[in-house]
Structures are given as C-alpha cells and as structure tokens.
Amino acid sequence: MSVAEHVNLDEFMSGVKRRNPGQPEFVQAVQEVSEDIFEFIQDKLPYHEYQILRRIAEPDRVVSFRVCWEDDNGNIRVQRGWRVQNNSAIGPYKGGLRFHRDVTESVLKFLAFEQTFKNSLTGLPMGGGKGGSNFNPKGKSDHEVMRFCQSFMTELYRHVGADIDVPAGDIGVGAREIGYMFGQYKRITNQFTGVLTGKGLEYGGSLIRTEATGYGATYFLQNMLQHVGDSIDGKSVVISGSGNVATHAAEKVTHLGGKVLTLSDSGGFIYDPAGIDQEKIDWVKEHKTTRRGRIADYAGEFAGSEFHTDKRPWGVPCDLAMPCATQNELDGDDARTLLKNGCIGVSEGANMPTNLEGVHLFKEAQILYGPGKAANAGGVAVSGLEMSQNSARISWKEAELQKLLVDIMGGIHDRCVEYGGVAGTEHIDYVRGANIAGFVKVADAMLAYGVV
C-alpha cells in the first residue's frame, strides 16, 4: 500500500470512535494528538506500515476491578477501580491514580494516552499508565479513606511493581492516600520497593515531588516567555484549581514576580484584586489539604476578595492563564474571552483542561500555549527521579533536584521548539511540538521491537 492510502485522519478517527463507544474524553485526546501526528508522518512509511499511532491509541491492557469497603456506619460500599497500562515501549508504565466521583474508563484511558507522550517528553525511561476509582473522597473520614485505599491496593498490587508499573497521585490522591496504599502493598508483598511515587520523605519519597508539577508548569510558562524576550515578572495570572498543582503554580508565579488573581474549586472561584501572595497561598494549602475545606471560605478570610459561585475564572482579565483543575474546564467561549482580554500565554497544569475548540483557537491566535503534556510534566519527571533514588537507595539534596527540574523543563521546552516551529514565522506551536517530540521516541522504540 502507498503512503497516501494510509494517510487519512478522518478514517483513522472514525475507527477510534467506533472502537471506543461512550468514551468522549479518550476520543478527544486521540484526536488532538492525531491532527499533528498525521501531518508529521505523511512521508514516513515505517510509522504507517507498523501502525504505530493505531497501536499507541490501543492500551496494552485495561484492568478493571471491584473495590469493596465498609463505611463508618457499617454500610458495605462498592466502587470500581481501574489501571490502564497504555504503553511500555520506553519504560515501565508510569502515571497517577485519580479518586473522584466522575472517574470513568474513558477518563483514565485519555489520561494514560496523554501520559505516554508526556513521559516520553521528559527524556526519562517511563511508559504511560493511569488508574483510579470512582470513589468520592469528599466528606469521608480518614479511616474510610484508609479502608478504601487498602481494599483498592489489595487488588491493584498484582498488576504493579517497581519495574512493571509505578502509580503516583493525581486528583484526590495525595500524600495521605499514597501512604495508605504503600503500607498495604508492603504488607501484602513483604517487599519494600519503589512501587509508588509521591511517597513521604520518611519512606522513600523525593524532595520537591509535592511542588514539582506546579513549579514545572510555571517554569514552562517562563521558558515560553523568555523565548520571545519576555518574563512572568509584573504579569497578572489567572489560575484555576486550589489543589496540589494550582497552589504550587501560584507559589512559583509569586516567586517570579507575577500577581495571582484567582483560584477555584468545583464550587466556584475566588478573585483577589490585591493578589494571592505567599501568606494567602499557605492559608489555601492548609485549608484545602489539611482541613479539606472549600475555596469559598477564602472570601471570608481575606478582605477585598470575592467568591463567584459555580463560575470559572477565565472572565477575569489577565496577561497569563494557568488551568490547574481538571479536563475540559476551559471551552471555546472561555478561550475567546481570554484572547479578547489580551491574554498572551497559557500553561496547562491540568491534563487536557482546554477542549478541542479552545485548543484550535489558541493555536490560531498564535499565543504562547503550553499544552498539559509538556507544561505539567515536571510532576512525573520528579517521580522518575524518585524511582532512580529508590533503585539506588539514596536521597538527593533539594538543590540538586530543583536544578534537575529546571533542566528537565528546559529540555521539554527545547524539544517542543525543535518540532513546533511554524514555517515563515518566529512562532512556536507547542501543541504540535509536544505531540511530535513525544511521539517520535516512543514510535522509534516500537519500530525496534517489531510487531509485539
């Protein structure tokens, strides 16, 4: 068959849709990547002959299991758990676990697919995976969360391992949940290995893993700005979310001289025209993580700020935006509003926060737009460094790790620039750059293996 006969994005996508009914998030993620990859591989016959993209878009396996646990009132509760092992061409499966009411197989398949490209971009030897459960941690006691995590790991443990698949945190899974799951893994297997990352410092965790995603997304924003001779200093920044990624992005933006105007959660957003400084960020961290409170309470705590119920922050005029909450939280109308208000840069701390229409609008407007798979890769990169430290049974110092994070984010930026140049302009299409750079390494490894 000639190359031309292979190259048809629409046919490819109709096959993806047919094989994945009722999985819109997965189809969306594959579409966004395939738009760039099809153009890139047009004249590259081996990638077609060996059906590389088709194979990356078909997870190696999807494990689904029942998770039973008992709540504090003695009721038996039943949840569904999954681990999606998308691709291990360049290393063990690696990616977070998400506990959220809305988790479905589609959501985890999109995340595992994205993770494959993201992990490749870091330059570290990690394949792509993701897992989680439709367990809703909101309002649960510590003991309920512990019992759930133990039951979840009692099934998951047989599918993971330090050289097989290494989960970590994501939405609803932080230090507490990783601790409970690591404890259960160790108990079942009688092994102390680096099977999870994001662990506590006392039991094999790495310094700066907690900060890495938010800091990394801010470094990526800074890298994009520096590439055009600009910086974060003095810029106004709108951030969504108020969890791990959002609060650490806010912190690094503040360190670099930016002014953070908003944070949000699933109940709405707060707008603080005076700027959300370090003291306020510390309050948010304590309130959202330790007290498991709501962002709405910020308005009662800090005079001059406002809470907007059930609204997203994208209408607040800003120079820069960082979506750091969840998928599809920024749609075409939001993108138009940001552009109309003069936003010049977007760095995605969350995975696929911008819907396809929004992505197209940002690309067309040629703003500095760092997609999640590049911009938020700092978290998994430091997870990769945690794996190395665990294997070598050593702990690196904070300064070394901070430098490695900066270097890795710089390397990701360079790889995007290498593949994302727009002919006849100085502009970098970071979406295309990230998709192609992420693809090439995985694809070439797959070619080396033949058909497996």
- Note the residues at the interface with ligand NDP (CB under 6 A): 169-172, 213, 241-246, 265-267, 324-326, 329, 349-351, 376, 379
Query: The tokens 């512990």 sit on which residue?
Result: 146
Q: Where are the alpha helices (DSSP H) in 304-421?
A: 332-340, 356-365, 372-375, 378-392, 398-420
Using CB under 6 A as the binding rule, whether residue 168 contacts ligand 2IT is answered as yes
Alpha carbon distance 327, 320 (integer Å): 19
CB of 2 to ligand NDP, least distance (A): 40
Using CB under 6 A as the binding rule, whether residue 170 contacts ligand 2IT is answered as yes
Using CB under 6 A as the binding rule, whether residue 41 contacts ligand 2IT is answered as no
Q: How does strand 61-70 pair with strand 76-87?
A: antiparallel
Q: Are 346 and 321 in contact (CB under 8 A)?
A: yes
Q: Which of 59, 81, 92, 96 binds ligand 2IT (CB under 6 A)?
A: 96
204 binds, among ligand 2IT, ligand NDP, none (CB under 5 to 8 A by kind): none
CB of 190 to ligand 2IT, least distance (A): 24
What percent of the chain is helix, strand and coil (3-state, nearest 5)? 50, 15, 35
CB of 111 to ligand NDP, least distance (A): 7
Using CB under 6 A as the binding rule, whether residue 150 contacts ligand 2IT is answered as no
Alpha carbon distance 256, 406 (integer Å): 14
User: Taking contact as CB under 6 A, which single stretch among the options 61-69, 92-100, 186-194, 414-422 is the one that binds ligand 2IT?
Assistant: 92-100
197 binds, among ligand 2IT, ligand NDP, none (CB under 5 to 8 A by kind): ligand 2IT
Q: Which DSSP symbol is given to 161?
A: B
Using CB under 6 A as the binding rule, whether residue 380 contacts ligand 2IT is answered as yes
343 binds, among ligand 2IT, ligand NDP, none (CB under 5 to 8 A by kind): none
Q: From residue 104 to residue 143, what is the string marking binding to ligand 2IT with x (rule CB under 6 A)?
A: -----------x--x-------------------------
Q: Which of 128, 243, 379, 420 binds ligand 2IT (CB under 6 A)?
A: 379
Alpha carbon distance 122, 118 (integer Å): 7
Distances from the Cα of 196 to the Cα of 184, 191, 199, angstroms: 12, 12, 7
Alpha carbon distance 338, 330 (integer Å): 10
CB of 96 to ligand 2IT, least distance (A): 3
Strands (E), 43-144: 61-70, 76-87, 93-99, 127-133
CB of 113 to ligand NDP, least distance (A): 13
Q: From residue 333 to residue 372, what is the string marking binding to ligand 2IT with x (rule CB under 6 A)?
A: ------------------x---------------------
- Tally helices (H) and strands (E) across the chain: 18, 12
Alpha carbon distance 385, 388 (integer Å): 5
* DSSP codes joined into one string, 375-399: HTTHHHHHHHHHHHHHHHT----HH
For ligand 2IT, the closer CB: 96 or 420: 96
Three-state DSSP at 238 gives: strand
257 — phi, psi (to 5°)?
A: 90, 5
Question: Interhelix angle for 105-122 vs 398-420, to 10°?
Answer: 100
243 binds, among ligand NDP, ligand 2IT, none (CB under 5 to 8 A by kind): ligand NDP
For ligand 2IT, the closer CB: 3 or 175: 175
Give the residue numbers marked as catalytic.
130
51 binds, among ligand NDP, ligand 2IT, none (CB under 5 to 8 A by kind): none
- Binding residues (CB under 6 A) for ligand 2IT: these are 94-96, 115, 118, 168, 170, 197, 351, 379-380, 383
